[in-house]
Amino acid sequence: MRRIATSSRSSLLRRASKTSSSVRVPASSSRSCLSPSRNFHYSRVMASASPPSGAALSSIAEPNPSLFKGGSNGDAKSVADTQLRADVKAMGSLLGQVIQDHHGSEIFDRVEHLRNLAKKFREAGGGRDAMKLEESRAVLSEMATYVSTLNNEELFLVSRSFTHFLALANAAEGHHRIRLMHAKANTGTGMSALSSKSDSCGGVLPQLAKEHDADAIFDALTSQTVELVLTAHPTEVNRRTILDKQRRVQSLLTLADRYRASGEATPYKQVELNDALYREISSIWLSDEVAREKPSVQSEAARGTLVVETVLWETLPQFLRKLNSTLVDTIGKKLPLDAAPLKFASWMGGDRDGNPNVTSTVTREVCLTNRITAATLLHRDLTTLESELSITNCSQELRDIVGDTRENPTDAFSSL
């Protein structure tokens, strides 16, 4: 259920080399990522705050990086693509500042030098252009020679720099796909809330409506069940802490989009959001991103069901509401309240396929933990519902159950 982004060193360098030549940013004094000081991006001393006219900026050395530097001219897609490049450059430059703040300019310079060599290698065809084969080989040899001069600590920090840059770029690209889907959905005229792509429900249902009876479509949809089985990933080494931080980075990108769209991007909010992004990137850099201890079956199961707690619990009801809206728009029928076209199961803690640590006791413990998690999620939602249902009038059916009592409705039901 989870995708792990991996890259070879060569693909990592090719990705980092797609950006332009650099503008140097001098190192600042040491600064903790938890510093409460405000206006960091605007008070930061920059020797190259104004690059030469026409000079392109490095993806990890842009002065005063901000999520609010994207273009606003052109059609929706071109504006969105420009914003993607701006997001990658802003987060990469914040990462560059973090590297300088905690390791000084020397490491940063090595990262930039290797990135520029990788850029030259890519411009020379990357070994795939027969006309530039000699040039690309010469650049590759220069890169290898340069890397061979780095000591172990420098190799670790430089490699880690590119790894984190790729992770941030992946986060920006994932967010960009959602951005484009929302932009396309906002141009629609009907009630369909799902994407109109041919491989999605929003695209398939209108096509089916042209070829089949509405009742047949409705019966097929409401009688089928797709069961998605969660399973532990045997090579998952990313810590839950890092995954949480990456999700918060995505949330900040979403909030920046909202500010831009609504006109709420005041200078204060821009600085607040940019500072929050700096803190998250700095916190990621200062954290150990790899789980150093082999997880137990129980902890592996808990980490796997995290997707239910953080994603599916909110996303699935939203999807069903959107599916209902699409059905109404397409065939004029509503999705029944008891319809369950999607269900979830789990092998974690119960799969005995060669794992001697999965015993009956472990399975019982994992099932109990999952039940507690489900009860906790339900209790949270019921508590919210309790505050919303402040009405005193009810149906006769409910009155027959609770009588004339005015006590807390959850207390009344618990006694049944």
Between these two residues, 366 and 47, which has the higher pLDDT value? 366
* Residues 177-235 pLDDT 10s: 888 877 776 665 555 567 777 777 778 888 888 889 999 999 998 888 899 888 876 55
Structurally, how many domains does the chain consist of?
A: 2
* Residues 65-86 pLDDT 10s: 888 876 554 555 566 688 888 8
* Residues 316-368 pLDDT 10s: 999 999 889 888 888 889 999 888 899 988 888 888 777 788 899 999 999 99
How distant is the alpha carbon of residue 341 from its chain centre?
Answer: 26
* Residues 90-140 pLDDT 10s: 999 999 999 999 999 999 999 999 999 999 999 998 888 889 999 999 999
Same domain, yes or no: 137 and 225:
no
pLDDT at residue number 47: 33
pLDDT at residue number 130: 87
Same domain, yes or no: 280 and 377:
no
Query: Which residues, 6 or more positions from 19, have their beta carbon under 8 angstroms from its beta carbon?
Result: 58, 59, 60, 89, 92, 115, 119
From first CA to last CA, the distance across the chain in angstroms is 39
Percentage of the chain lying above the pLDDT 90 cut: 33
* Mean pLDDT of the region 45-57: 36
Same domain, yes or no: 212 and 281:
no
Between these two residues, 53 and 73, which has the higher pLDDT value? 73
**Is 90 exceeded by the pLDDT of residue 245?**
no
Q: Over the Cα atoms of the chain, what is R_g?
A: 27
User: Which of 306, 354, 330 is CA-nearest to residue 1?
Assistant: 306
The whole domain housing 415 covers 191-237+293-416
What is the residue whose two structure tokens read 């728009």? 329
* Mean pLDDT of the region 165-182: 88
**Is 90 exceeded by the pLDDT of residue 276?**
yes
Same domain, yes or no: 361 and 406:
yes
Same domain, yes or no: 215 and 136:
no
Same domain, yes or no: 223 and 310:
yes
The amino acid at residue 33 is C
Domain closes at, from 225, 260, 290:
290
Domain closes at, from 274, 290, 306:
290
**Of the listed ranges 122-136, 151-165, 291-305, 341-355, the one predicted with least confidence:** 291-305
Same domain, yes or no: 261 and 183:
yes
Between these two residues, 386 and 111, which has the higher pLDDT value? 111
pLDDT at residue number 181: 78
Can you tell me the distance from the alpha carbon of 91 to that of 278, in angstroms, rounded to the nearest whole number?
Answer: 8
- By the 10 Å C-beta count (0-12 exposed, 13-18 middle, 19+ buried), 243 is classed as middle
The amino acid at residue 367 is C
**Secondary structure letter of residue 238 according to DSSP:** B
Can you tell me the distance from the alpha carbon of 278 to that of 391, in angstroms, rounded to the nearest whole number?
Answer: 45
Q: Where residue 288 falls among pLDDT bands split at 50, 70, 90?
A: confident
Same domain, yes or no: 131 and 37:
yes
Assess contact for 179 and 146: CB atoms under 8 A.
no
Same domain, yes or no: 340 and 285:
no
Residue 119 is encoded by which pair of tokens?
């850029």
Same domain, yes or no: 382 and 401:
yes
Residue 59 is encoded by which pair of tokens?
């993806």
Percentage of the chain lying above the pLDDT 70 cut: 77
SS3 218: helix
SS3 57: coil
Same domain, yes or no: 358 and 309:
yes
Can you tell me the distance from the alpha carbon of 415 to that of 401, in angstroms, rounded to the nearest whole number?
Answer: 11
The amino acid at residue 62 is E
Same domain, yes or no: 1 and 78:
yes
